[in-house]
Amino acid sequence: MSRKTILVVDDEPRTRQGIKKTLETWSSGRHDILDAESAAYSIEILKKQKVHLLISDICMPEMTGLEMLDTLKKQKQDPVVIILSAYSEFTYAQEAIRLGVHNYLLKPVNKIKLIEVVEGALEFESSRERIDMIQRVVDHKLVDLKLEAKKDDSPITKAIKYVDDNLSNHLSLNDVAKHVHLNSSYLSVLFKEQVNMTFSEYVTRSRLQLAKQLLINTDKTITNIAEEAGYGTSKYFIKLFKEHEGLTPSKYRKLIPFEG
């Protein structure tokens, strides 16, 4: 599991410091454990840095834990949340779960239960983060296009299928035009009209989509992925990938490590 930031929010110093110390001992330096004495202060912390797991008391002066969660949602902040609740506040804890809180702990907090719930929350956060990243991998324009292409048997549909089946090979407009029995100039115009992107743009996007899938779903080398995606040299592939994705294939892979 990668390094995470955990924020403990409670206006009671003894409870807050006790939870923080327990987590620091359990973490042994693997994660960053922060604390805040109020909901307002915790909101300021989240504005400045990413917090993966938020552990917060419900009843605090000035702003309650639930009010804080509502504010964070409005600010598009979405850490995994564990709520701390006394028995008398159990109804609030139930409401918090309806608001999307991952779990809750009853006070006084049991150390073993705390660690168990925190470990589960961090696993949930990692899996949610991976799913979010995989969603970003998908080129939705290509997906919609391929779904639409399945509905007919036009020359453009055949051209798309030919490209998809030959991404690892050399692909030229002339090759595809011959395959679908059209003049290359006419195919170029028709492709742009019906697909709403140029032939070369479609090939590039399809190859990069394949490369991204290979990066996150296999442990193949960058060189092998470049070849499989139809690029003669890994140097050119890395340059093109960075131009389109904003980072190198290696750094991209680290965002969503292969779980094979």
- Taking only the tens place, the pLDDT of each residue in 22-55 is 999 999 999 999 999 999 999 999 999 999 999 9
Residue with the two structure tokens 């949602």: 73
Q: pLDDT above 70 covers what percent of the chain? A: 93
Q: What is the mean pLDDT of the chain?
A: 89
| Residue 12: per-residue pLDDT | 94
Domains in the chain and their CATH numbers? 5-135 (3.40.50.2300), 140-255 (1.10.10.60)
| Residue 90: per-residue pLDDT | 64
| Residue 142: per-residue pLDDT | 87
| Residue 148: per-residue pLDDT | 75
Q: What is the mean pLDDT of residues 59-67?
A: 85
Indicate the pLDDT class of residue 220, thresholds 50, 70 and 90.
very high
Cβ neighbours of residue 40 closer than 8 Å, sequence gap 6 or more: 62, 63
CA separation, residue 178 to residues 85, 94, 170, 183 (Å): 70, 65, 14, 8
- Give 224-249 pLDDT, tens digit per residue: 999 999 998 999 999 999 999 888 99
Cβ neighbours of residue 250 closer than 8 Å, sequence gap 6 or more: 222
Indicate the pLDDT class of residue 80, thresholds 50, 70 and 90.
very high
In this structure, which amino acid lies at residue 234? S
Q: What is the DSSP string of 91-136?
A: HHHHHHHHTT--EEEESSPPHHHHHHHHHHHHHHHHHHHHHHHHHH
Question: CB of 208 within 8 A of CB of 248?
Answer: no
Query: Pairing relation of β-strands 5-9 and 32-36?
Result: parallel
Q: What is the mean pLDDT of residues 61-76?
A: 86
Burial of 232: CB neighbours in 10 Å, binned 0-12, 13-18, 19+: exposed
- Give 95-152 pLDDT, tens digit per residue: 776 667 888 888 899 999 999 999 999 999 988 887 777 777 778 888 888 777 777 7
| Residue 200: per-residue pLDDT | 95
